[in-house]
Structure 1
Amino acid sequence: MGRYKCAYNCENNGDPDVKFFKFPMYNPRKLKKWLVNMKWKDWTPSRFSVLCINHFEEQYIDRTGKFVKLREDAVPTIFASSDEIHKIQTSCQSERMQDKPHSTEASQMTPFESPTNHPTTDGRNIQNKEISQTEEEPAGNKEPKKPDKWRIIVDEGLMKIESFPYFFHGDYCLSQGIQWAPDDNFSTECNNLENVIEVKEPWQWLGLDVRGPLPQTLNGHKYILTLTDYYSKWVEAVPMQSCLPPHVAKHIIDIITHFGYPLRVLSRLPHDIVQKINKELKDKLRITIALVVYHRQTGTADLVTQRLIDRIVSDLIEEHAADWDVYLPAKVFTLCFEEHSKTKERPFSVLCCRGLEPIHSPRGLDYTYSRIKESAFVVR
Structure 2
Amino acid sequence: MAKFKCSAYNCKSTNASGVTFFKFPLYNRRKLKKWLDNMRWKGWTPSRFSLLCSNHFEEKCIDRTGKFVKLQQDAVPTIFSFPEHPVKKTLAINPRSKRYKPPGSEESQTSRALSLPAAAAAPKTAKLTVKKQKPSETEEEAAGDPKRSDRWRIVTDEALMKIESFPCFFHGDYCLPQQDILWAPDDSFNVECEDPEKLIEVKEPWQWLGLDVRGPLPATLNGHKYILTVTDYFSKWVEALPMQMCHASQVAQHVSDIISHFGFPLRILSRLPHDIVHKINRELRDQLKVTISLVVHHQQTGTADLTTQRLIGRMTSDLIEEHPADWDVYLPAKVFSLCFTEHSETKERPFSVLCCRGLQPVPSPRGLNFTYSKIRECAFVVR
Please confirm whether the aligned pair reaches a TM-score higher than 0.5, indicating the same fold: yes
Distance 1:301 1:278, change over 3 A: same
One-letter code aligned to 1:129: R
- Preserved CA contact (<8 Å) 1:225 1:248: yes
2:292 pairs with 1:217: no
Given the superposition, is the C-alpha separation of residues 150 and 354 from structure 1 closer, same or farther in structure 2, using an over 3 Å criterion?
farther
Equivalent runs, 1:298-309 vs 2, <5 Å: 298-309=301-312
Aligned-pair CA distance for 1:130:
3.5
Q: Secondary structure at the match of 1:358?
A: coil
Deviations 1:302-350 (A, max 9, x none): 0000000001110111100111011000000001001000000000000
8 Å CA contact retained: 2:228, 2:241: yes
1:288 and 2:363 correspond? no
Alignment map for 1:1-380 (pairs within 5 Å): 64-67=139-142, 69=144, 128-130=152-154, 134=161, 159=185, 163-165=188-190, 181-182=191-192, 190=194, 192-380=195-383
- 1:86-107 CA-to-partner distances (Å, cap 9, x unmatched) read xxxxxxxxxxxxxxxxxxxxxx
- Cα RMSD after superposing both structures: 3.7
Provide the rounded CA distance (Å) in 2 between the counterparts of 1:163 and 1:271. 17
Residue by residue over 1:55-99, the C-alpha shift from the partner in whole angstroms, topping out at 9 and shown as x without a partner, is: xxxx999873334649xxxxxxxxxxxxxxxxxxxxxxxxxxxxx
Letter in 1 for 2:377: E
**Larger relative contact order, structure 1 or 2 (CA cutoff 8 Å, min sep 6):** 1
8 A contact 1:212–1:223 mirrored in 2: yes
Q: Work out the CA distance in 1 between the residues paired with 2:179 and 2:254.
A: 18
Q: Measure how far apart 1:150 and its partner are.
A: 7.7
Equivalent pair of 1:147/1:321 in contact (CA under 8 Å): no
**Across the two proteins, how many residue pairs are aligned to each other?**
242
Cα distance in 2 for partners of 1:247, 1:67 equals: 34
Worse-matched range after superposition: 231-240 or 210-219:
210-219
Alpha-carbon distance change, 162 to 216 in structure 1, aligned in 2, over 3 angstroms:
closer
TM-score, normalization by structure 1: 0.57
Q: Is the Cα contact below 8 Å between 2:319 and 2:327 reproduced in 1?
A: yes
Q: CA deviation at 1:283?
A: 1.1
Paired letter, 2:341: E
User: In 2, distance between residues paired with 1:218 and 1:143?
Assistant: 12
CA contact (8 A) 1:152 1:211 kept: no
Contact 2:208/2:232, CA 8 A, preserved across alignment: yes
| Paired AA for residue 229 in structure 1 | D
Deviation track 1:245-283 (CA, whole Å, cap 9, x = no partner) reads: 000000000000000000000001111000000000111
1:151 deviates by 9.1
Amino acid at match of 1:259: F
Counterpart CA distance in 2 for 1:145 and 1:259 is: 39
Contact 1:128–1:155 (Cα < 8 Å) also in 2: no
TM-score (norm 2): 0.56
Q: Per the alignment, in what secondary structure is the counterpart of residue 373 of structure 1? A: helix
* Structure exhibiting the larger radius of gyration computed from Cα positions: 2
Residue 212 of structure 1 aligns with an amino acid whose one-letter code is G
Which residue number in structure 2 is paired with residue 36 of structure 1? Answer: none
Cα 1:273–1:242 change in 2 (3 A) is same
Provide the rounded CA distance (Å) in 2 between the counterparts of 1:353 and 1:152.
Answer: 41
Is the contact between residue 214 and residue 226 of structure 2 (CA under 8 Å) also seen in structure 1?
yes
Mark the CA change 1:344 to 1:239 in structure 2 (over 3 Å): closer, same or farther: same
Question: Percent identical across equivalent pairs?
Answer: 62
Q: Which runs of 5+ in 2 are unaligned?
A: 1-26, 29-133, 146-150, 164-168
Structure 1 residues 332, 150: CA separation in 2 closer, same or farther (over 3 Å shift)? farther
Secondary structure of the equivalent of 2:307? helix
Relative to 1, partners in 2 of residues 1:150 and 1:233: Cα closer, same or farther, differing over 3 Å? farther
Distance 1:212 1:224, change over 3 A: same
Report the AA paired with residue 128 of structure 1.
W
Change (3 A) 1:150 1:279: farther
Is the 1:130–1:152 Cα contact (8 Å) retained in structure 2? Answer: no
